[in-house]
Amino acid sequence: MGFMDKLKNKFKQNEETEEVSKKYQEGMKKTRHSFSGKLNDLIARYRKVDEDFFEELEEVLITADVGVTTVMELVEELRMEVKRQKIKDTNGIKDVISEKLVEIYYGDDNQEIEKLQLQENGLSVILVVGVNGVGKTTSIGKLAHQLKQQGKNVILAAGDTFRAGAIEQLEVWGERADVAVIKQNAGSDPAAVIFDGIKAAKSRNADVLICDTAGRLQNKVNLMNELSKVKRVIEREIPDAPHEVLLVLDATTGQNALNQAKTFSEATNVSGIVLTKLDGTAKGGIVLAIRNELNIPVKYVGLGEQVGDLQEFDANAFVYGLFADMAVEE
């Protein structure tokens, strides 16, 4: 039984998974087409596994924004594997490539979905950070909606006091999700807003407090310090909080996403990633690089504009979506 069949079977196990994988397939249609399409094309064009083949394989992966370092490592491993298994033609290498890719996604850990770390009892605080325009506020809105649906008492704190219209934007999401939004005037100290948010969440016995922050480029030292301060305020009020620090990344971002993940982690100890805008033609290969180089798990992916399109990251479904074309052909 080939590797793809194994994957396929895994998904046929229950209907719920099937539904999830359908959403992924839909959302990642363009991604999948271009990525695995190219891989198939590559395999068809080269009969022999030689240096030219590897060079082109490198390019395919780089085009998916996987990241040069990761690609180099992967291709090096493939070279060894080809030698070891004495693979001569490109058809034989197909499975090996997929297996290696999957290995990077999963790492050595078990293949469990990494869920949001929420407290069983009492208040959980989620801090949301990222550069400008990645979709922090939108993701918060969708997340709030979903948590509310699960029966949680959610409060939002409008910590983006800088960007014009940011507070109003969060308020609209608050109305849509029917959750309270704690805010101050534009231009006020974000740490103070978050402090208010914690106070309100405590007094109203909320289950989850989601803190929005202003977008900031990671090389702006002052703004990163401001973010550390926000985190310290949370820590001071609730010792083991924030329970999650979610870094929102735009899937269209290239290599700089790694820099973002590194620098934001230094400032706020990022515990998970929300990968947005995966419904475009962006390849999402950055997920590979992030998991491989930084070992920060991806917790959510944005697969569309609808509230339900923010999905828990499921590496299995993600890989399946990426390789669905290949699985069908086999």
Partner 1 sequence: MAFEGLADRLQSTIKKITGKGKVSEQDVKEMTREVRLALLEADVNFKVVKDLIARIKERAIGQEVMDSLTPGQQVIKVVKDELTTLMGGEQSKIAVADRSPTVIMMVGLQGAGKTTTSGKLASLLRKQHNRTPLLVACDIYRPAAIKQLETLGEQLDMPVFSMGTEANPVDIATKAIEKAKEEHHDYVIIDTAGRLHVDTNLMEELQQIKTTVKPDEIFLVVDAMTGQDAVNVAESFNEQLDITGVVLTKLDGDTRGGAALSIKAVTDKPIKFAGMGEKLDQLEAFHPDRMASRILGMGDVLSLIEKAQTNVDEKQVKELEEKMRTMSFTFDDFLEQMGQVKQMGPLDDLMAMIPGANKMKGLKNAQLDDKQLSHVEAIIQSMTKKERQDPSIINGSRRKRIAKGSGTSVSQINRLIKQFSEMKKMMKQMTNMQKGKKGKGGFKLPF
Cβ distance to partner 1 smaller for residue 242 or 285: 285
- Minimum distance, C-beta of residue 56 to partner 1, in the bound complex (Å): 10
Query: Least distance to partner 1 from the beta carbon of 190, Å?
Result: 14
**Residue closer to partner 1, measured from CB, 143 or 241:** 143
Q: Give least dist CB 146 to partner 1, A.
A: 17
257 three-class SS: helix
**Under the rule (CB under 8 A), what is the footprint of partner 1?**
30, 59, 62-65, 68-69, 131-135, 138, 141, 162-166, 168-169, 171-173, 186, 217-220, 250, 252-259, 277, 279-283, 286, 293
Identify which of residues 135 and 242 has a Cβ nearer to partner 1 in the complex.
Answer: 135
- State the minimum distance, in angstroms, from the CB of residue 79 to partner 1: 16
What is d(CA 224, CA 229) in angstroms, rounded to the nearest whole number?
A: 9
| Residue 272, beta-bridge partner list | 246
**60/245 with CB nearer partner 1:** 60
Report CA-CA distances (Å) from 142 to 162, 172, 301: 22, 12, 11
Output 259 or 265, the one with its CB closest to partner 1. Answer: 259
Q: Which CB atom, from 123 or from 131, has the smaller least distance to partner 1?
A: 131
Whether omega before 190 lies within 30 degrees of 0, making that bond cis, reads no
Q: How far is the CB of 176 from partner 1 (least distance, A)?
A: 8
Q: List all residues 6 or more positions away from 188 whose beta carbon is below 8 Å from its beta carbon.
A: 161
Q: How far is the CB of 63 from partner 1 (least distance, A)?
A: 5
Quick check: 124 and 118 in contact, CB under 8 A? yes
DSSP designation for 297: P
Question: In sequence order, which residues have a C-beta less than 8 Å from that of residue 157 and are 6 or more positions away?
Answer: 181, 182, 183, 193, 194, 196, 197, 198, 209, 210, 211, 212
Contact (CB, 8 A) for 192 and 184: yes
